[in-house]
Structure 1
Amino acid sequence: MRRLSYASALSLAAFSLVATGAALAAPAPGPGYGDGMVLQQGQPVTISGRAAPGARVTGMLGTVRAQATAAVDGSFTIAFPAREASTAPVSLTLSDSTGSATLNDLLIGDVYLCSGQSNMELPVTRALNTMGELRQANDSGIRLLKIPQATASVEQEQFAQPVAWNPANADSVAEFSAACYFMAKQLRADHPDVPVGLIHSNWGGSAARAWLDPQSVENAYGAEAVAQLSLYDRDPMAAAQSFVPQWYDWWRQNDNGREPWTDPDSLEWQPVPRISFWNEWTGTGLDTDATANVWLRKSFTLSGDQAASEGTLSIGSIDDLDLTWVNGHPVGYTFGWGVERHYRIPAEYLREGENEILIAANNSWDTGGFFAGPDRLFFETGAGQTIPLGSDWRYSVAPFDEVPPRAPWDANAGMGVMHNAMIAPLGPMRLAGVTWYQGESDAGQPDYDKKLEMLFDGWRRQFGEQARVMVVQLANFGERTVQPQASSWADLRQEQLDAVVGASDAALVSAIDIGEPTDIHPANKNVLGKRLAMAADGKPMPMPLSATMSDGIVTVRFSGIEGGLRAYGGPYALGVELCGEAQDSCRYALPALDGDTMRIDAGDGKPVTRVRYAWADAPVVNLYDARDLPVPGFELPIR
């Protein structure tokens, strides 16, 4: 790890003060700025930070001076003229009448945000040739910033923990995004005089909407959703209660109108075998299939004094989702398998004698139930007394396993909750681009193309219109097929393609050939990184353009093809389909390749209104251009 300058150490030490709104004695740069960072070339150098309200802040970037006045809330932004790429370190000093702060060893180059879910998060230690790559990782021209995982219902000024920029070496690279790092490695090989800054901000399993900025959240889900998020920030219990009617309606529709929260005795109850994952409850049925909705019930006793004041209920972590009541009152609603639940219980919800906890828990995949042990379940009275709750629970399995509605603030699919905690604190720094690898969690959900459009808009609002966007088209994963069929992953790949086509300065980088059908986390991020570097450099990627039919021949034209189309391993491209309107009309076809066109004989007398390629979760593909870049999966209407 690299050493911080005194000024940076001072800035990090002041982290908790800034987070609580306390005034600093001197101007402090925003949390994403630090010793050893890379500032974006060719764009105004934009530095944001905090100072005393109304303070006149002077910035010195090398020998260039700029000024700004802190707003009423203490925020300021200083803009310096654009600079050319340089490997010569420069310093930045921010000062006002109370003092100064200095950042050292700053380089000028290209800065990229790498974001998404687990395939972007996957580290170099899980990529190919890990030992060899780490041995060659030393490059002071690559600087890395890793953002801690956290969620928030409103935009934050600080990250959940202090962060620091580090030069690339075996230690800093090992747990960094492999796709992101290999992109930078190739960019450095192609442009050795241009430093590269990388910002890793990822969360496995996250949904696209978790990364939307507040304006996009309002555009997509309305002002009411934004209001609920703000309410959750102020009062989580009140927010849960405002959301609960939606949950109640959903439960009644799925359970023939029953309301177990008003009549728990209407359910059949069994003793909970142990406070653990349901998968460990031998003989219950949950041990073989933990995908379920399970009611959990527990009574505890309070004295008159204990019930007279507000307390806190802690139920550990519930995998994945809980709605919790105390004495019939909803007190909390949380999604997040590693998130501990601590719910405020008002005195008016408590009573002397027996009190009852009721939890509706849902697990949608893999392990479910109690993530933490019995010691994490307790009630704390207003006087600080702790009442253990780690035993004598009962459970009842619901007759359906559908996933309940998700609240706007939930951890993995909440509206903008990851943007708020993991992107917003970066402030208005300029970027060369954003690399996005996400979609597995959104497969089967509608309007992914619209979500991408909103993500593009939000990134450019924050980081500048110049930010180029590179979208990774999902890798091949899942069951192989021998006949054409519907595919939610192919649908999503098409929406990724549509969003890129409809955007300016965006590129689709396909991973459709380097996945592993039995592993959702393919290791070959090495090749993917090289492709991302090509896209970041503005090199054209293979893209379908149009499909037309004349005299029974369908002609498909492509852009971004260098050296002509080629089919590896045989004379024909695999996975090409002709389709009518219905799914069962789709059939495989054998196309002839000619330069950047594909010609398909449609003279079989069957309906033909569209052409598809690689339309499967895990397609077998062999269609490339001369650069070994794969043609992405697509569907085109035939004109």
Structure 2
Amino acid sequence: MLDALFQDHAVVQRDTAVPVWGQAKPNESLKIGFDGKTVTSHADADGHWQAKLPPLPAGGPYTLTVTAADGRSQTAKDILVGDVWLCSGQSNMELQVHRTLNSRSEIMGADNDRIRMLTVPQTGASAPQDGFAAPVQWKPTTPANVPDFSATCYYFARELQKTVDVPMGLVNASLGGSRIEPWLSARALRKVGGYDEALDTLALHASDPQAAAARWGNIWAKWWRSQPQVRAGDEPWKGTSDAGWKAAPKTLGDYQSWGVPELASYTGMLWYRTTVTLTKQQAAQDATLAIGNVDEMDQTWVNGRGVGSSSYGGAPRIYRLPHGLLHAGENVIVINDLNTYQAGGVMGPTDTRALKFADGSSVPLDTNGWQYREVPKGIGTPPLAPWLTVSGKTTLYNGMIAPLGHYAFRGALWYQGESNTGEADQYRRLLEAYRDDLRAQFGANLPLLIVQLSSYGPAPTHPAESGWAGVREAERLVAAEDKLSGLAVSVDIGERYDIHPANKQELGRRLARAARHVVYGEALAPSGPLPVTATREGDAVAVSFRDVTGKLVAYSSNHPIGFELCGAKPDSCNYANADLRDGKVLLHLDTPAAGAITRVRYCWADSPFCTLYDEAGLPAVPFQLDITSSTH
């Protein structure tokens, strides 16, 4: 009768009326008991019921009991009342405790019954789900339970509990590789604008996947034709032209290992095609197309019609074909593979690729051999099917956030953005929409703590445009515009060679510090030095900061590094010599183009070196500011 969230060892939010809900017989009356108090509820015609428990201070354990009119009952025991946190994002939020620094010692010492953890099953869905994709369980913190839980989420709660001495409930809803768009509801994405076509196709996919696949194939084809690098009439999915096609190795597999110089380190799109010859009897049957595993995302056509698209994971891809699509004779199967990281291509054994028929027979796809074709240089990223789990639209909201209902949370933590670094300009609008979406579901005053992206990639040798820096700036601006949002800087604890930095303990400390200020109102700087203004002062630009603990300091030098002076256009930046003076950073205008300088950037690279801190050991926030005239 109780929803799966309300079970043994759960934590519910203190000092607020707590929503509780579940399923019963249609129109059934129920009594809900908690801490000696009783509330009533009445199931609707579909059996859904909900109620609100009266507010309680931190404490417990308590027992929650639901009793129906006919005497049936369900009990959840050992429930604590404290502060509950939603932790969400991509792989750096998902990254487990056992992958962090000093993990063996951390795990052995993880014995805290007052921190409880729940991991939301990872799944996407085309429509909002009422329940989880698999059973969930609230678990106390023990050496057995903590190794696979989100390290950022756990270390945050452990640190916060040192000053906020109440039980902590942690709900981890995260998935590696995910973009931000799948975490937003359809309502939120439509409000952002520009996603209606994808969302309409996704709605169709929920009821008719074959029709949605065909529609998306047409949308994909329209995008291809619109690319300036594509010749008029070049439509590889139709299989009507042999231009540019080359024989692929018989075993396929990772194309980077084929021995083709152009593909040795290539990431991007690659076309594949093959043909299958069918009899009239075979073509008349219902059929499915199995293409094995494709790394990472496929868009697949049969005889020029889109039949499916999937992403990530090792599961073979199987698409049900519309009746009548196949015909006697030669049928053309075309796959466009999009690979964005390391190895890519059509993977797996030959026997995972076949046309399978209703009578149990099958025809291998590899019999006639495969061909491949490269795409024109400079072509962009294609539209991604909206039902894809990690890169679609609303899919993770539907499968992982919607099932949380209106559970009462103290706040939310967000660590994501690596998968959106190619669209930094749009990220601010999407992150604002994500924040507002959470508040629409979980309460208008829900605080949001944002991890500003860490560093990853080669160290810069000259100023350059950076998608990573652009996302960091979007995160800074979203946090700055809202008093219920906070920022945790992580650029200095990244790993140049590892996109998943292991020092999640320090990140947890910084998130806890931000929470103490934003959520609990402590009078301490929430992050590190935060830029306020950049003004011309004679032959220098002065950058002022707030949220400085003690004074500004430069590590390992008398002068901070990482500052740039820029003109209005892209690629107009130069490194600036800087000094610390009177609590400000002075940037010297010693370049020939000093008169054209309009902006200051700091720590602006995928993986920058930045040396400005305060005396609390907190790094200055990476930023970009327009330069204004001095008021003096």
With structure 2 as the length reference, what TM-score do the two structures score? 0.91
* Aligned AA (2:253): S
Task: Tell me the equivalent position of 1:541.
Answer: 527
1:318 lines up with 2:294 in the alignment: yes
For 2:336 and 2:591, the matched residues in 1 are separated by 56
* Aligned residues of 1:278 and 1:369 also touching (Cα < 8 A): yes
Match of 2:418 among 422, 440, 462: 440
Structure 2 segments unaligned to the other structure (5+ residues): 518-523
Partner of 1:147: 120
Given residue 298 of structure 2, which amino acid in structure 1 is its aligned partner? D
Partner of 1:451: 430
Cα separation, partners in 2 of 1:566 and 1:394, compared to 1, 3 Å: same
Provide closer, same or farther for how the CA distance between residues 291 and 444 of structure 1 changes in structure 2, counting only shifts above 3 A: closer
Q: What SS does structure 2 have at the residue aligned with 1:151?
A: coil
Residue 504 (structure 2) pairs with residue 515 (structure 1): no
The one-letter code matched in structure 2 to 1:273 is K
Determine the structure 1 residue equivalent to 2:256: 279
Inter-partner Cα distance in structure 2 for 1:363 and 1:512 = 27
**What secondary structure sits across from 1:199 in the alignment?**
strand
Task: Find out whether 1:338 has 2:314 as its counterpart.
Answer: yes
Distance 1:566 1:101, change over 3 A: same
For the residues of structure 2 that align with 1:325 and 1:232, how far apart are their CA atoms? 17
Q: How is 1:565-576 mapped onto 2 (pairs within 5 angstroms)?
A: 565-576=552-563
Q: Distance in 1 between matches of 2:328 and 2:319?
A: 19
Counterpart-to-counterpart distance in 2, 1:339 and 1:524: 32
1:227-255 CA deviation, whole Å, 9 max, x = no partner?
Answer: 21111111111112112222112333443
In the alignment, which of 600, 615, 621 is matched to residue 626 of structure 1?
A: 615
**SS at structure 2 position matched to 1:443:** helix
Cα deviation for residue 371 of structure 1 reads: 3.4
| Pairing 1:376–2:355 present | no
Answer with 577-586 or 96-105: which moved more. Answer: 577-586
Structure 1 residue matching 2:492: 3-state secondary structure: coil
- Root mean square deviation of aligned Cα: 2.3
Q: Deviations over 1:310-344 (max 9, x none)?
A: 22222222112222223333222333353532211
> C-alpha displacement at 1:632, in angstroms?
0.9
Letter of the structure 2 residue corresponding to residue 218 of structure 1:
R
Could you tell me which of 420, 431, 437 is aligned with 2:398? 420
The SS at the match of 1:423 is helix
Contact persistence 2:239–2:304 (CA under 8 A): no
* Cα drift, residue 347 of structure 1: 2.4
Distance apart, 1:298 and its partner CA:
3.2
Contact 2:27/2:42 (CA < 8 Å) preserved in 1?
yes
Partners in 2 of 1:504 and 1:153 — Cα distance? 34
Q: Partner of 1:91 in structure 2?
A: 63
1:48–1:428 Cα contact (<8 Å) kept? no
* 2:275/2:330 contact within 8 Å kept: no
Does 1:359 pair with 2:335? Answer: yes
Supply the distance in 2 between the matched residues of 1:324 and 1:604 (Cα, whole angstroms).
54
Equivalent residue number for residue 128 of structure 1? 101
**Which residue pairs with 1:590 in the alignment?**
578
1:36 aligns with 2:12: no
Instruction: Give CA deviations for 1:546-577 in whole Å, capped at 9, x if unaligned.
Output: 22334445332322222122222222222123
* Deviation sequence 1:508-531 (CA, Å, 0-9, x none): 110011112222111111111111
Deviation per residue, 1:416-465 (Å, 9 max, x gap): 11111111111100111111111111113031111110110111111212
Q: Secondary structure at the match of 2:435?
A: helix
User: Matches of 2:491 and 2:455 in 1, distance apart?
Assistant: 5
What's the CA shift for 1:409?
1.7
- One-letter code aligned to 1:308: A
Q: 2:198 aligns with which of 225, 243, 252?
A: 225
**Structure 1 SS opposite 2:146:** helix
Q: Secondary structure at the match of 1:103?
A: strand
Which SS does the other structure have where 2:474 is aligned? helix
Q: Identity over the aligned pairs, expressed in percent?
A: 35
Cα displacement (A) at 1:627: 1.7
Could you give the per-residue CA deviations for residues 60-117 of structure 1, whole angstroms, max 9, x where no partner exists?
122121222333433332111221111x211111232352221111111111111111
Name the SS of the counterpart of 2:161 in structure 1. Answer: helix
Secondary structure of the 1:349 match is coil
Please say which of residues 462-471 and 542-551 is displaced more in the overlay: 542-551
| In structure 2, C-alpha distance between the alignment counterparts of 1:412 and 1:283, rounded to whole Å | 30
Structure 2 CA distance for partners of 1:355 and 1:205, relative to 1, 3 Å = same
How many angstroms apart in 2 are the aligned matches of 1:373 and 1:603? Answer: 62
Task: State the distance in 1 between where 2:384 and 2:359 align.
Answer: 34
